[in-house]
Amino acid sequence: MTKEAQVSSVSYNFQQAEPLSETIGRMSANDHIVIVKGPISTKTFLKVVFPKETHFQKTEETTYEEFVFEYEVMDIIKTDSFKTGDHFWAWQKPNYDLEDTRRYHEEGFSQSPDIPVRKPNYPLEDDRHIAFARKIDSKSTQEFPEVFSIWAEEGIGAEPEIRKLIEAKERQISKRWWQFWK
């Protein structure tokens, strides 16, 4: 009697993004908003090969990979560390994590993930867009000492609204500090 693998497929759940005012409101002081070009290139960040000997049918290897994508900073909206022309690597969470892949490899079982996808308020066009980036300390390696995640993206048309919202947020923070010192 042979084991049969359960077929799995990824389901993408496209969700309209919250208003930009909420996105800006969720930002931490360490987040960056930059206009980027890219992704320019891709590199393998992590690769794990599960051997044929541990496969549920003993017939094949299974490879798990995570990737990072290279972006170039074209312009700055809000950052304390990026400069125009800088390049950075952004890690993208895979549809199936390492444990899901191991379980499929060893048991032949895989659960179909439902992946929420943020649909931007302003459409992305070409290879330039606005990226909301956050450094991921737990992903640093010798080859990639600084790795970021891009937690939101907007089309270039969002720039004026984003700049106004940031100015308003900074005025509000400044006003609170001023009232504290009174």
d(CA 3, CA 101): 17
Q: Taking the model in full, what pTM does it have? A: 0.86
149 touches 136 (CB < 8 A): yes
Torsion sign over Cα 71, 72, 77, 82: positive
DSSP 175: H
Q: What φ, ψ does residue 62 adopt, rounded to 5°?
A: -125, 135
Tens of pLDDT, residue by residue over 117-164, are: 899 999 998 889 999 999 998 888 889 989 999 999 999 999 999 999
pLDDT band (50, 70, 90) for residue 1: very low
